[in-house]
């Protein structure tokens, strides 16, 4: 098989030459900033020959007979560009162009990027969001990627206080999160309330909730690929934003033979109240940068990095007279990513990217408790991921788009726990993960395409080797209506110390699979349709069924001293139907998404609905340009209640307190069946209003955002307060009516 691939790569260009035909290829970029433009339609006038640019803005039209032609480049929102070109016998012609943004956007005249994807790609369970869509969403304090993704079909949030993503019955640790191709392991700020990604630097977000192709591996549920802007290669450009959460700035501009981008963000309440009685104990910051350097026409180097930390330093003193105590918390956690990418156009038919990455998550928690005695606790967790990856795209076979590649990851995990300077537990592991994949998108006809591939992975601990076949198809029954479906097997070799019983999940603690645990696996079955309606409306529907085996849940009664009882092995399945009606163009755009779903798991012979099982979920998202610079954002969310474990009664346990020299009694809850009852229905409406002003030559966007506009008292959790006599039943609500303000300045 390897020899066949080698011969195809070597001899296909020779076959092309033997046919006395040429090719036309090149890159398409935005004239104003030099950013690459994916999904631009490139056609040869008066023929059916054409192509679309890929994510790097590269296109190739093959098997062009000798002659003179007119190339037409078109994309919604940009002026059409025509370019004369002459193709000689056996000549590979390179035509790089730039496109000017259109002064007036003429809908329906040229295709959108989404239309190009519809006609040319086999994409299953995939949604793409642009920077503009992210920036106009009404969100808590400021725009947030994960909060926006929670509004898509198939995605569930357990509460207002968490931005974690539960995708089609899966857990947050089953989501592969990539920032410019680098895996990020804990992408959260403020104890999970916000994601770490600064939306001002983002170019595009691609989110695959199932059926993703063989080029992605290592996770069971979804792939989130975030691409940052490359930087303006034409002129200096800046943006500043201050919200109720943070202050941030983004700068970009030309660099010799390339471009750069720098973006930074920091919370500021700790600085405002510094030295006062209201000293704020927490802050976070993140910084990211990117430098692009062109080494001639066929080579490009990109160096990028992300660096962010959260810091909590807090002291708490008890006011109780009978038992005074002091608690001191010093908690630091953060992410570091660095990547070097080499893009090499080896041949017009062979495009490659080599990526060297380093991703590092660290957590260090010091907890000092001073009471009748002193206890100093220390917890450390970290993961270092060093990866080399090579991906190739081959275009040399008619009606085939071939991708193949390989990667090697060296992982370093650490988890340590100590009391009063004595280390009670110190776990370290350094597994290696090797992967290779190949896939082919075969255009069987103008109406039918198939994408087939497979992925092989080898995990060093336990010497596990897995084989993951993937296949997807799309068939256009009519010009504007297509059927699609996919099947895939997926494996995962790491997990987090999470339990379904947790109400809060501040930070995920990552662990590699030990030798006694089989790799986690899931099988995806997806079938659906895509229908393009008048007025630029797109209606999609998908039905999915997913099985999950060898799932690991933290053993709450384990002591982490013996790896055999750290986790409990279980399995599960998820099934559902998702409907999405969206409009991405025009003065009024947005989407309506609905999900009907079941999720069930079995652990220790107990079958239950996990805490993220939600039967019905409806999201209405709208962005409206009102004219004269005014913009209105609207979000309405409705969801049926999620499960919880009820309290049936209470009991008293007596014990002897040696410090107080007396018998004490403690009241405990008598629990019912696991997750056998559900919270009330959840619903909420959010609004945002933005106004475009031009002051002193600068574009200003003051905005007001209102979370929970009609002050719905959604339930976060129930608990019994046994300190009261008699015991009291307490309801803890989620976000109340919460307005925030901010200002964005572009220069």
Q: Where are the alpha helices (DSSP H) in 223-280?
A: 269-272
User: What is the Cα–Cα distance from 386 to 408, expressed in whole angstroms?
Assistant: 8
377, pLDDT greater than 90: no
CA pair distance 608, 470, nearest whole angstrom: 30
User: Across the chain, what does the average pLDDT equal?
Assistant: 88
Q: DSSP label at 87?
A: E
Contacts of 561 (CB under 8 A, 6+ apart): 424, 425
The residue to which tokens 């069930």 are assigned: 600
The answer to whether residue 560 scores a pLDDT higher than 60 is no
Report pLDDT for 107. 46
How far apart CA 490 and CA 468 sit, in angstroms, is 6
* Torsion angle of the four alpha carbons 10, 12, 16, 22, in this order, in degrees rounded to the nearest 10: -70
Helices (H), 175-324: 269-272
* CA separation, residue 375 to residues 332, 692, 710 (Å): 19, 55, 46
CA atoms within 13 A on the CB side of 746: 8
- Rounded Cα distance between 28 and 74, Å, is 10
* Residues 148-195 pLDDT 10s: 999 999 999 999 988 999 999 999 999 999 999 999 998 988 878 888
How many contiguous H segments (helices) and E segments (strands) does the chain have? 5, 50
Please state the three-class secondary structure of 191-204 as a single string: HHCEECCCHHHEEE
Considering only CA atoms, which of 87, 67, 70, 73 is closest in space to residue 24? 87
DSSP letter assigned to residue 609 = -
pTM comes to 0.91
Structural domains in the chain plus CATH codes = 2-120 (2.60.40.1120), 126-225 (2.170.130.10)
pLDDT at 598 over 90: yes
Summarised one tens digit per residue, pLDDT across range 672-706 is 999 999 999 999 999 999 998 887 778 888 999 99
Lowest mean pLDDT among 275-289, 350-364, 429-443, 635-649: 275-289
Whole-angstrom CA distances from 294 to 36, 259, 300, 685 are 13, 9, 4, 47
Residue 190: the pLDDT is 82
Residue 110 has pLDDT above 70, yes or no: no
User: What confidence category does residue 109 fall into, taking pLDDT thresholds of 50, 70 and 90?
Assistant: very low
Residue 437 pairs in a beta bridge with 405, 455
CA separation for the pair 669, 650 (Å, rounded): 4
Instruction: Give the confidence band of 549 by pLDDT, cuts at 50, 70, 90.
Output: very high
């Amino acid at each position: 098989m390897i020899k066949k691939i080698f011969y195809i790569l070597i001899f296909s260009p020779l076959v092309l030459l033997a046919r006395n035909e040429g090719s036309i290829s090149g890159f398409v970029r935005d004239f104003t900033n030099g950013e690459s433009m994916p999904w631009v339609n490139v056609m040869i006038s008066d023929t059916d020959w054409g192509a679309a640019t890929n994510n790097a803005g590269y296109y190739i039209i093959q098997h062009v007979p000798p002659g003179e032609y007119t190339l037409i480049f078109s994309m919604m929102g940009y002026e059409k560009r025509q370019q004369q070109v002459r193709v000689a016998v056996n000549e590979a012609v390179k035509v790089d162009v730039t496109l000017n943004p259109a002064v007036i956007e003429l809908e329906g005249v040229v295709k959108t990027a989404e239309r190009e994807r519809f006609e040319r790609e086999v994409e299953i369970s995939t949604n793409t969001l642009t920077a503009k869509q992210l920036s106009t969403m009404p969100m808590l304090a400021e725009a947030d990627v994960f909060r926006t993704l929670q509004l898509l079909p198939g995605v569930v949030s357990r509460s207002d206080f968490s931005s974690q993503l539960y995708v089609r019955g899966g857990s947050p640790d089953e989501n592969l999160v990539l920032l410019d191709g680098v895996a990020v392991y804990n992408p959260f700020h403020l104890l999970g309330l916000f994601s770490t990604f600064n939306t001002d630097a983002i170019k595009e977000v691609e989110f695959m909730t199932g059926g993703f192709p063989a080029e992605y591996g290592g996770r069971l549920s979804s792939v989130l690929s975030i691409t940052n802007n490359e930087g303006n290669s034409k002129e200096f450009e800046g943006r500043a934003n201050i919200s109720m959460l943070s202050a941030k700035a983004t700068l970009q501009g030309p660099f010799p033979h390339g471009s750069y981008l720098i973006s930074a963000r920091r919370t500021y309440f700790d600085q405002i109240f510094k030295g006062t009685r209201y000293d704020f104990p927490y802050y976070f910051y993140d910084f990211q940068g990117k430098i692009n350097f062109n080494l001639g026409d066929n080579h490009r180097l990109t160096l990028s990095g992300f660096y962010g930390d959260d810091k909590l330093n807090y002291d708490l003193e008890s006011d109780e007279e009978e038992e005074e105590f002091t608690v001191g918390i010093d908690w630091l956690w953060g992410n570091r990513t660095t990547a070097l990418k080499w893009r090499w156009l080896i041949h017009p038919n062979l495009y490659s990217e080599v990526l060297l990455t380093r991703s590092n998550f660290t957590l260090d928690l010091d907890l000092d408790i001073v009471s009748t005695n002193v206890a100093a606790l220390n917890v450390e967790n970290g993961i270092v991921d060093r990866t080399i990856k090579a991906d190739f795209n081959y275009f040399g076979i008619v009606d085939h788009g071939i991708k193949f590649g390989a990667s090697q990851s060296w992982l370093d995990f650490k988890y340590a726990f100590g009391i009063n300077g004595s280390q009670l537990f110190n776990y370290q592991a350094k597994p290696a993960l090797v992967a290779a994949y190949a896939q082919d998108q075969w255009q069987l006809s103008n109406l039918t395409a198939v994408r087939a591939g497979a992925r092989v992975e080898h995990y060093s601990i336990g010497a596990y080797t897995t084989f993951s076949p993937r296949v997807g198809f799309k068939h256009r029954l009519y010009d504007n209506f297509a059927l699609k479906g996919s099947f895939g097997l997926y494996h995962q070799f790491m997990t987090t110390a999470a339990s379904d019983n947790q109400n809060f999940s501040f930070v995920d603690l990552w662990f590699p699979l030990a030798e006694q645990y089989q790799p986690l696996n899931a099988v995806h079955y997806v079938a659906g349709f895509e229908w393009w309606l008048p007025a630029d409306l797109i209606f999609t529907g998908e039905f999915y069924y997913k099985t999950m085996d060898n799932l690991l849940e933290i053993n709450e009664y384990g002591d982490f001293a013996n790896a055999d009882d750290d986790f409990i092995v279980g399995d599960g399945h998820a099934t559902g139907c998702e409907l999405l009606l969206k409009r991405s163009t025009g003065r009024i755009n947005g989407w309506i998404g609905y999900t009907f779903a079941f999720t069930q798991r079995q652990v220790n012979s107990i079958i239950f609905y996990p805490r993220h099982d939600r039967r019905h979920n409806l999201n209405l998202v709208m962005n409206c340009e009102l004219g004269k610079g005014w913009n209105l954002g609207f979000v309405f969310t409705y969801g049926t209640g999620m499960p919880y474990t009820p309290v049936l009664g209470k009991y008293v346990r007596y014990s002897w307190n040696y410090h107080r020299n007396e018998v004490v009694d403690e009241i405990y809850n008598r629990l019912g069946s696991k997750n056998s009852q559900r919270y009330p229905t959840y619903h909420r409406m959010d609004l945002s209003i933005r106004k475009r002003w031009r002051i002193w030559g600068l574009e200003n966007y003051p905005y007001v955002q209102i979370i929970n506009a009609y002050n719905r008292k959604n339930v976060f959790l129930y608990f019994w307060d046994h300190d009261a006599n008699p015991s009291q039943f307490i309801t803890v609500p989620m976000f109340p009516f919460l307005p925030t303000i901010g200002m964005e300045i572009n220069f």
